[in-house]
Amino acid sequence: MDEGKARAAGDPGTSGAVPHPAAGSADGSPEPAAPGLPAEPRREAPAPAAPGTSPAPEPAPVPLHAPDPYGTPPYGRPGPWAPAPPVQRPVVTPPHGTHVPPTPPPYAASQAEVQPGVTPAQGTALPAYPQPQSGVCDPSVPAAPLPYACAQPGVTPAQGTALPAEAHAPAAAPAGPWQYDPWAAGTRVPESGEATGGGKGGPTRRRIVTGAVAVALVAGAVGGGIGAALERDGGMTPQVRLPQSAADKGDRAPGSIAGIAARALPGVVTIHVSGGGEQGTGTGFVLDKQGHILTNNHVVQPAGSGGSISVTFNGGQTAKATLVGRDGGYDLAVIKVTGVSGLTPLALGNSDSVRVGDSVVAIGAPFDLAGTVTTGIISAKERPITAGGKKQDGSDVSYVDALQTDAPINPGNSGGPLMDSEARVIGINSAIRSAGESEGGGQGGSIGLGFAIPVNQAKRVAEELINTGRATHPVIGVSLDMGYTGDGARVNADGAKGAGVTSGGPADKAGIRPQDVIKKVDGVPVHSGRELIVKVRSHRPGDGLELTVERDGREQSVRLTLGSASAG
C-alpha cells in the first residue's frame, strides 16, 4: 500500500489528525512535503522591531484560494484526515407526551478531538467569531488581535490559520413546515391535532381529509362520465356508424297525402258500439262544432234504442255519444257527443264535381286500427249497389248510387270519410266487394273494390236526421216486380199485393200503367228493379225525372216530379 492510501486509512495508534505543515519540526525547519505533492513555500519569520519603536502590525495571511462555500481544504492539498463519525443508532420513539431530555449532538465527540491551532476536518461547523466593534472588517485594527478577524463565519479558513480552543455548538436546524427531527436535542413532540407546519395556514387533518374526499368525488364523476360515454358508444370496440339525413320537421304540402291526413285526422273518430248481444267498431267524422258526427247506419245498429255508443277522438279523448237519427235505406246515421271542446269539423265537397281518376284518401279504423290512412283513385261513378238484406222484409237493404274507389277499405272503415285532394269529404265509405263472397255478404278484406255514398246524398240525409230525426225518400209511386229477369224494371200488376201504380202518385200522373217496363232514367239505362231504386234515391224529393217506358214493345218517354215518403 502506498503512503497516500495509508494516510487515508489512518493509523490506529494515532488520533487520526495529521499535523499541519505549518507546525514545523523541532528545529523550526519546514517539514518535507508529502510525496507527490508540491512543497509548501517557506514562510519567513518577521524581523524583530527596532528598540524604542512600536512593532508593525502583522499582515493578515492571504488565502491561497478564494473562500470555498463547501468548507473543503484548498485545492491540491491533502485535507486533515479524521476518523469517520460514530454510527448513530436510533432509539425507540418515546410514548406520546413524554418529555425528551436534551442530548448532546452526535458529532460532539469528533469536535472534542479537534486540536486547538490545527485546521479541523473538512465540513466541521465553525463558531461565529466576534467582529470588530466598529462593524468594519479591518485586519489592521489592534482591537482585533486574532488574525482571522475578517474571516467569513461558517467557512473553513485558509490552510495554516490558527484556531482557538472553543466549544462548538451544533448549528440549529432551520425551521420549516415539515422539518421535524425526532433525534435532535430539545425537540418537542407535536401534540395530537396540532399543526406541524410553522406559521398560519399549516395543513390540518381536516383539510387533508376534505381534499381527499373532493379528489375522490371528482375522480368518480369523471370516471362515471367516461364509463357512460363508452357504454353508449359500445365500449372500446369500434362501432359502425351509418350515414343518415337529419330529421325534417317541416310541414308537408297541403295537397299531398301527408298534408291531407294532417288536416283530416283531428276530425275523424273511432266508434265502438254494443247492445242486444252484439258489438261492433266503425268510423265517423265531425260535422259541426255542436258535436254531430256522421257514420253508417250499420255501424250503430247494434246499439238499437238501449245500447251504448262510445267515441274516441284521434288525440285519444273518449266520450259517450247518443243517437240522433238513422236511416237504413241510405245506410246513414247521426250521433252526437256533448261536453267536448276543440272539435274539428271536416269540410264537405261536392260529389257532382268528382271525375274518374281523381286521387282520393280514405281514413278509418280497419279492424279497430284507428287513424289508418289509405289512398287511391275514383274508379267509377254512379255504381248502383245494395247492402244489408239480412232481414226478411228487406228493411235493412240500402240502395246506393256509389262512388267506386280502389283505396283499401276494410271492415272498420265503414262511416269514415273519402276525401279529395283538397281535404274535402266527397263520400262516406260504406261497402266493399271481397273475393269469394256474394254480393252484400261476408266480412272479407279489400281487393280494391270499395264503395262510398256520395256526399251530396249524405249531406241531405244528415240535415234531415239532425233537424227532424227522420230522412225522406224520393218516390215515383209504383211497386216493382223484383223477380223480373228481363232487361229493365217492370211495374207490378194489380193484385193481392196491392196496386202496381199508386193512385194520384207521380207515376199515375205521368201516365205509367201496371206491367210497363221502365228502361231508362234521364237517358241512363237501368237493368233491374234495384238499379231503378238506386237511381231514384240519388235524387231529392221534388226533382224532375225523364223515364223511358216500354209498353207493348214500344218505348215512350214520360216526365214526372218525384214525391216524398218518410222512412218507416
Beta bridge partners of 326: 333
Q: Any residues with CB less than 8 A from the CB of 338 and at least 6 apart, and which?
A: 291, 319, 322
- The model's pLDDT over 366-378, given as tens digits with 9 standing for 90+, comes to 999 999 999 999 9
* CATH at 331: 2.40.10.120
Quick one: what percent of the chain has pLDDT higher than 70? 60
What number is the average pLDDT over the span 119-131? 57
Residue 332 belongs to some domain of the structure: yes
The three-class DSSP label of residue 357 is coil
CATH number at residue 480: 2.30.42.10
Residue 140 pLDDT class (50, 70, 90 cuts)? low
Specify if 89 maps to a domain: no
For residues 296 and 422, state if they share a domain.
Answer: yes
**For the chain, counts of helices (H) and of strands (E):** 8, 19
User: Which has more pLDDT, 46 or 319?
Assistant: 319
pLDDT at 99 over 90: no
Cα 450 to Cα 282: distance, rounded to the nearest angstrom: 15
Average pLDDT over residues 486-515: 90
Tally of domains in the chain: 2
Name the band, by pLDDT with cuts 50, 70 and 90, for residue 14: very low
Whether 219 is covered by a domain: the verdict is no
**270 pLDDT higher than 90:** yes
Q: State residue 535's pLDDT score.
A: 92
Closest CA to 514 of 500, 530, 528, 526: 500
**Do 314 and 385 share a structural domain?**
yes
Supply the pLDDT for residue 67: 63
* Residue 26 included in any domain: no
The pLDDT assigned to 155 comes to 55
Same-domain status, 462 and 519: no
In this structure, of 129-133, 294-298, 431-435, 539-543, the range with the lowest mean pLDDT score is 129-133
- Nearest CA to 531 out of 333, 399, 392 is that of 399
Q: Which of 331, 406, 420, 516 is catalytic?
A: 331
Mean pLDDT of the chain: 76
Q: 389 with 513, same domain?
A: no
Confidence of residue 494 (pLDDT cuts 50, 70, 90): confident
Flag whether 84 is in a domain: no
Q: Are residues 304 and 405 in the same domain?
A: yes
More confident residue, 193 or 161: 161
* Residue 226: pLDDT band with limits 50, 70, 90: confident
Answer whether residue 250 is part of any domain. no
Give the single-character DSSP code of 102.
P
455/539 same-domain check: no
Residues 497 and 450 in one domain: no
389 belongs to a structural domain: yes
Mean pLDDT to the nearest integer, 488-498: 86
- List all residues 6 or more positions away from 249 whose beta carbon is below 8 Å from its beta carbon: none
Same-domain pairing of 492 and 386: no
Instruction: Show Cβ contacts of residue 126 under 8 Å, excluding neighbours closer than 6 positions.
Output: 120, 153, 154, 155, 156, 168
How many other C-beta atoms are found inside a 10 Å radius of the C-beta of residue 21? 18
Question: Quick count: other Cβ atoms within 10 Å of Cβ 347?
Answer: 13
One-letter amino acid at 87 equals: V
Same domain, 459 and 361: yes
Residues 414, 446, 479, 528: which is the catalytic one? Answer: 414
Ranking 163-167, 272-276, 333-337 by mean pLDDT, the lowest is 163-167
If asked whether residues 406 and 529 sit together in one domain, one would say no
Judge whether residue 464 has pLDDT over 80. yes
Domain that holds residue 538: 472-566
Read off the pLDDT of residues 163-210 as tens digits, 9 standing for 90 and up: 555 544 454 545 555 555 555 555 555 555 454 444 444 567 888 888
State the average pLDDT over residues 453-471. 95
290 closest CA partner among 27, 101, 466: 466
Compute the distance between CA of residue 458 and CA of residue 479 in angstroms, rounded to an integer: 25
What pTM was computed for the model? 0.58
Nine cell digits for residue 455: 256526399
pLDDT classification of 522: cutoffs 50, 70, 90: very high
Q: Judge whether 414 counts as a catalytic residue.
A: yes
Is 543 catalytic? The answer is no
The arithmetic mean of pLDDT across residues 240-260, rounded, is: 91
275: number of Cβ within 10 Å: 17
My answer on whether 306 and 400 are in the same domain is yes
- My answer on whether 450 and 511 are in the same domain is no
Q: Which amino acid, residue 383?
A: R
Q: Which residue has the higher pLDDT, 556 or 99?
A: 556
Mean pLDDT is highest, among 55-59, 88-92, 355-359, 562-566, for 355-359
Q: Which of 272, 292, 298, 473 is catalytic?
A: 298
Q: Is 331 a catalytic residue?
A: yes
Residue 137 pLDDT > 60? no
Q: Is the pLDDT of residue 302 over 70?
A: yes
Res 239: pLDDT: 78
Domain contains 248: no
